[in-house]
Structure 1
Amino acid sequence: MSQDTEVDMKEVELNELEPEKQPMNAASGAAVAPVMAGGAEKNGLVKNKVADDEAEVASKFTGLSKEELLKVASSPGWVRTRWALLLLFWLGWLGMLAGAVVIIVRAPRCRELPAQSWWHKGALYRIGDLQAFLGSDAGNLAGLNGRVDYLSSLKVKGIVLGPIHKNLKDDVSGTNLEQVDPTLGSKEDFDSLLQSARKKSIRVILDLTPNYRGQNSWFHPSQIDTVTAKVKNALSFWLQAGVDGFQVRDVENLANASAFLAEWQNITKNFSEDRLLIAGTESSNLQHILSLLEFANDLLVTSSYLSDPNLTGERVKFLVTQYLNFTDSHWCSWSLSQAKLLTSSVPAYLLRLYQLLLFTLPASASLPARVDLLLSTQTGREEGASLELEHLKLEPHEGLLLRFPYVP
């Protein structure tokens, strides 16, 4: 027996001893016999498995080549599809643009905001009695000058000062509207106050009520010509000095008050459009109040229109509605008094109710619980607009004019 025959016999024996090593897909020994008989290939089964793997790889999807894609993309069907999608895109975009333009054009236009002056935008602080405000020892203009920083901390737009002019009780000849009362200081003290206030962006409004220490604030009716001439001269004098506005009170005692107020307002407006004139009256008659506004468009009026303590809720509603209807878009105002404190005309248990009413009216309001407050706004103000009053520490004698910002 040759050496090769011995090797083949060993392999046959090995296959018989280890049948578990036979291929699982072999049905019988006949599948192996040709290989054994040939003697030239001993690992045919491995060769068949590799061939199967190669066939499986060959059968996987490989996609289109670049050339094939370009060929398909250039076909008429795809070209028409792309043009149709592009056209739909631009039509949709133009449609949305046209819709937006239509909405903008047809939408209701916002009302133009009215022109606002400085007194419409902030608080005015009223100081009627310097000695009550500062104390008897420092109740003068120099003492007030030292409190400008305090006023600035309250973020006020201006102060309504006085009257501070020289006035001998019920004596026209002894009343000089252009001279500071010597007990309160001098013209130089007033000029220094103006400069200090201007540095803090605080405006100064001067009260020129002539006979503020007498029984009739405008003296005897027979002296009206002399008094009004003094007022006209004083307006020009103090405007030149740098005052930003004026206040006159008790105009119900002034004959032909509306004409005089219109004349005085013309003087202030001709000097500068940002000058303010305030008129106060104790009258609660609506016709009288409206007559004061007849010739003065930008006049601010304080009155006793709502001062009746016996008013019912329905009556208050009627008065408020009536006032708003008659004043229309005029810069109107609400108050219980031109100068008195709220506690002097309203019972204590109604104070908060009146405060709530005056704070939410769509116009100006004057209220103090222990101080004078004048709240102003344009008709149409949002009711219930919040006010930041927590930082205001006011004494019983102090006064404050507050103005709501305009809300369209």
Structure 2
Amino acid sequence: MDKNKLEVSAKDANNSPTANATYKAIPESEYLEEPVSDQALARLNSHAKNHNNAPEADGAHEKMLPEDDKLSHTVKIIPSTGSPEKKADGFTLDIKPSVVVGMGKEELMKYANDPFWVRLRWFLFICFWLLWAAMLIGAILIIIAAPKCAPPEPKTWWEEGPLTEVNALITADELKTLKSRGFKGVIADWPLDSLQTVDDSPDFQSLLKKAKDAGIEIIVGIEPGTSTLHLNDSEAKDDAYVNYYIWRNHAKGNTTESPNNWLTPDDVSAWKYSDVRKQFYYAPFGKPWLNYRDPKVKEEFSRVITKFLDAGARGLRLTRAPYLLVDPDFADENVGDVGNAAVGQYNFYSHHKTKDQPDLGSLLKSWRDIVKNKTEDGLLMLREDLDNLQSYKVNVSLSIDLPRHSQVFNDKLTSGIQIKKAIDSAQQILEGRWALWESSNTGLDRDVIDIIMFMMPGTSLVPLNHTVNSELLSFRKSPSIMYGSFDTYAVANDSTFAFIRLVQRLTLDDLTRICCFMFVCVAN
């Protein structure tokens, strides 16, 4: 017998082989310090032979080893160091059976070459790459089709400012000087009747030409509500002008008593009697008031606007626009927040019937559309401060530009907390929009007022003879002033007013940190 190999064949009760055990002698150098004697090997073979020939009385091996199971044994002879009952003349026989699970190579090759499985593998392979390519193309299309983060829209010349008011007779050199001092535009009041056109005033035509040569924009100030141009025709009940003004009979036919309790700011009746027409006409500020519910009046003033714009004007400022429309039912005014006012005084009433009517926004929008169509970057603004913006909206869009506010810097505001409250109130009324700021405060230094006004979100209207600091004008062009947030504070025991202008720009690192943070939040 080869001393390097020992084979043992195991058979079941029917003398059929159930297991093949191969015993390989491990080289002596791996586990013995001394060679194994022939007698020791003979005894080991004897033990193995007795083990193979030992009957299994209970037939347990037939129950535990089905015919289709294949069992292999690994036999290892090691020096015996355990208890005496495990020793076999100094050696221990360690038999470790292991069950082979799965198919062999020959069985696997049957499926590997089977046409059905070949086609299935190719089908899954192609589907994987098609889906991967579809996801890649989809991601690219999403990136291309996604709306881009557009940069903020550049501010117009009237949003940058500052603006000032001038006389219609100002010279060309004076206009050039204003331009060099940083003014973007000037406001010049129209000196004639509101229904007369620019063709009727050579002086105003000259002003528009001088402003164009100087490179400075002109805003025409006009009062659209009042006109006497067609009063005589309307009194005579000319068909073309019969409803040009607001005419009203007294309910009782009385020629001496006004139709209702509407007053002028001078505490007198807003109605005047016409001996020609035998009716009252509405004159809230002492002059006959145009009826802008008549399409003819609206159309004529639209022609006036168009003439100004065609001649070179870049915008309009309307005076007393909140009073353009009145209550169509001519109901009496209700008592308002009277304060110290007495009965019969203008401030005794709320003026809800003669001011800020619900359809005022549509009227102003029609004129603003004309300005935008003629100039693209022109503006329509009002001269008065606004108590609210609701009447000046069509749906949610504001029908005017630069809503004005001048009460922030009046003489009564000197402490920090007072200025903060006034500015916060104005921001709330104007809904945070880009506004026109004007100051009449003589209690604060003009330079201090400039610093606040020019740093606020809005345009400054400053006096004609005032020189604005050039560094302040330059700093105003920064993104934080043009586009940034605006937060106000009262510090030092409310004695000092402070504010912060901040524009937030995200860098790639900022976006990366935000994405990582979002991923962590979702993962958790």
TM-score (norm 1): 0.47
Structure with greater strand percent: 2
Q: Could you say which structure has the greater relative contact order, defined with CA pairs below 8 angstroms and 6 or more residues apart?
A: 1
Structure with greater helix percent: 1
